[in-house]
């Protein structure tokens, strides 16, 4: 595997190639692990200009499509509450790709995106 760190532009260019495919997103946030499987229809970014505090991120990666989320602690599966999966992005977020999986590391957690 050729593991490499990416700029946000390189990350965007590579992940756009997964539009129309089924992806699995694994979120590790503190002691919580969730998995989401979705049919990826569109990838977009949003900027939050009306933030009240630093808890609301300045930027979000929006993975749009239908899917379901599985909480590993509860071992239950439910439909996504909306047709969009949001990943909060920060200026110091790290983007990695190993040839098969993307990793986004933020202050809140680590997100792994792979083909399902």
Every domain of the chain and the residues it spans: 4-115
Q: What is the mean pLDDT of residues 85-114?
A: 94
Q: What is the pLDDT of residues 85-96, one digit of tens each?
A: 999 898 899 999
Which is more confidently placed, 60 or 75?
60
Identify which has the larger pLDDT, 21 or 47: 21
C-alpha of 100 from chain center: 15
With tokens 């590790």, the residue in question is 28
Pairing of strands 4-6, 94-97: antiparallel
Q: Which pLDDT tens digit goes with each residue over 5-26?
A: 999 999 999 999 999 999 999 9
Residue 50's pLDDT band (cuts 50, 70, 90): low
């Amino acid at each position: 595997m050729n593991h490499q760190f990416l700029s946000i532009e390189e990350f965007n260019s590579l992940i756009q190639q997964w539009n129309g495919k089924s992806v699995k997103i694994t979120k590790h946030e503190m002691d919580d692990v969730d998995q989401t499987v979705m049919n990826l229809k569109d990838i977009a970014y949003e900027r939050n200009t009306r933030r009240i505090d630093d808890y609301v991120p300045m930027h979000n990666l929006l993975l749009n499509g239908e899917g379901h989320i599985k909480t590993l602690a509860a071992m239950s599966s439910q439909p996504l509450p909306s047709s969009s999966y949001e990943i909060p992005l920060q200026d110091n977020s790290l983007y990695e790709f190993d040839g098969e999986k993307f990793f986004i590391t933020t202050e809140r957690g680590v997100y792994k995106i792979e083909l399902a």
